[in-house]
Structure formats: structure tokens, C-alpha cells
Amino acid sequence: MPDWLWPLLALAAAPAAGRALRAALLNRLRRSLTPERVRLPCALPPAQGILQPCRIATVGGLSLAGWHSPPGRPGAPVLLFVHGWGGSAAQLLPLIAPLHAAGYGVLAWDARCHGHSDDDSYSALPRFAEDIEAALDWLAGQDWAHGAPRWLIGHSVGAAASLWTARRRAGEVAGVVSLSAFAHPGELMHRWLASKRIPYWPLGRWLLAQIQHIIGHRFDDIAPLAHMPHLRCPVLLIHGERDDTIPPDDARRLQAAARHVPTQLLCLPGDHEHADDLPGCVAQIQHFIAAHSAAC
């Protein structure tokens, strides 16, 4: 357990702790929900002259650092790339570059509290989803994107947020490519508690309740498992066979939860961050998008 948490938990358990102490603890938890920034160069290095920078207005009057390029062929989809926790758009370049070269339009951005985007009080799955919706709204105002299908390609928490957005904005999302998504954030947090040797009862349970209070959502309501039965667009689930952050069984459970849409699962050699055969992974993504380009 983080050293700062023990005295605060002890005080919070005392009847005399009062509201001020609880407020201080919640503020400290909010700060702990902000990752250390990965500040890579503002212009995605291998894509200079190909992807153009932009600023995307998001919730609370804040803005996101983004990069975009129109499709290279008529009727090609626009792919929206959503990085994971503690990452940045630049870290998705190994996927962005070959898919852009194949003729797809591209929109990528750094989530709030990440990369070169604005700071906020904390970062969490719901705020990733808000930023995706902001990117969809920005894209709707671009002449070059009119009529082009929008596909979301998300990694980890970005994949979880993409599945949620596909449910919330069903008429605007043509499909989702989910890379290393978790099935349920509560289970993810349970694994985190175990890694920190924090007992679930009573400390862990109380801590997770406070996190749900901060983000304004119950884990059960924002879990990808809760969204899969309601999706109306095709979903490609890609997961590394050696992923020791999120077990591959999460992807199998997500596939089993789908009810109304084509869902394909690819468990490929690789870990949470990387596929061993990146060209093969890119080819699988292209094949799935082509096969379902008119699905929604």
C-alpha cells in the first residue's frame, strides 16, 4: 500500500475524523488517478508532413493535442486512435503509420492529463470516453471527413472507453478494434490491490468505493462487459497471449458477451503493449474493417 494511505485510512476510520479529513483523502486519491506524463515530441516524428496537428475542444473548456490526415482513397474510413493509461498518441505510431499508408484517414490525440493535452483534476475511463466523443464532434466539423465511416481503435483503457463510446454514439461509430481491453475495471482494481498487498476487506473495498465516488460511475456500469450486449457495430478483439497485465480470458469473456454484432477474437503472440508480428496484426485489422465496412 502507498505509504501516504495508511495514516489517512486510520484517521478516516475514527469517528472524530470529520468531513475535512475525508475531503483531503478524496483530493489525494484524485491526484493518484493522474498518470506520470509521457511527453514525446509534439509532431509525431515519423509522420511529419503527413499528419497535421490540431487542437480538439473537450469537456470543461480544455483541449486535446491531436493529429489528423484525410483518407487517401475515396470512401475509406477514418480511424480514431485512442491510447492507453499513461501513454500518448505517439506510442500508437506503429499502427498509425501502416494504416495511414493503406489509405485510411487518421485522427489521433493525447487524452487529458497525457502527452501534450491539457491537465485536469484526474484521469479515468469516463474521461477517456468524453475525449473520444470530443474527437467525434471535432471530426463532424471537417469537410474531408463527411460521409466517411468512423472506426475506433483503442488500447487498454482506451479500448474500454472505445467500447463504451460505441454504445453511447451508436449512429456515429462504424466499428471498434479493441487492443488488450479489460473486461471489468473492478477486477482490474482487485488485481492492483493484490499487487500492493492491500487486503480487500475492509481497506480495499473502501478505497474502491471512494474511486467510484470520484469518477461518478459504478464500475459495473462502465465495464466493457456491460456494453458488449448492447453494441450495434462490429468489434475486433485483439489480445496478446502473454499479456500479464490483463489476462487473455478477459477478451474471451467480452466476445461471449456480444449479442447482436459480428465479433472476432484474435489472441496473438505478444504481451499487453506489443504484438510480436505487427505487420500481421495490421493486416488482420485491415481485413476486418474491409469485411465490415458497411456493417453499421
0.85 exceeded by pTM: yes
In three-state secondary structure terms, 94 is helix
Give me the tens of pLDDT residue by residue for the chain, a chain 296 residues long. 555 454 445 545 555 544 665 666 566 666 667 776 655 444 454 455 678 999 999 999 999 999 999 999 888 999 999 999 999 998 899 999 999 999 999 999 999 999 999 999 999 999 999 999 999 999 999 999 999 999 999 999 999 999 999 999 999 999 999 999 999 999 999 998 998 888 998 889 999 999 999 999 999 999 999 999 999 999 999 999 999 999 999 999 999 999 988 999 999 999 999 999 999 999 999 999 999 985 44
User: CA-CA distance, 250 to 225, in Å (whole number)?
Assistant: 9
Write out the H or E segment, with its range, that includes residue 80.
Answer: strand 78-82
* 11, 207 Cβ separation under 8 angstroms: no
User: CA-CA distance, 296 to 292, in Å (whole number)?
Assistant: 8
> For position 296, what pLDDT does the model report?
42
Domains along the chain with CATH numbers: 1-32+199-217 (no CATH), 43-184+223-291 (3.40.50.1820)
> For position 203, what pLDDT does the model report?
87
> For position 23, what pLDDT does the model report?
64
281: amino acid identity, one letter:
C
> For position 202, what pLDDT does the model report?
85
**Contacts of residue 75, Cβ cutoff 8 Å, sequence gap at least 6:** 147, 148
Angle, vertex CA 255, rays to CA 205 and CA 263, nearest 5? 145
Beta bridge partners of 175: 151
| Nearest C-alpha neighbor of 7 from the set 201, 197, 24, 32 | 24
Q: Which residue has the cell 454484432?
A: 261
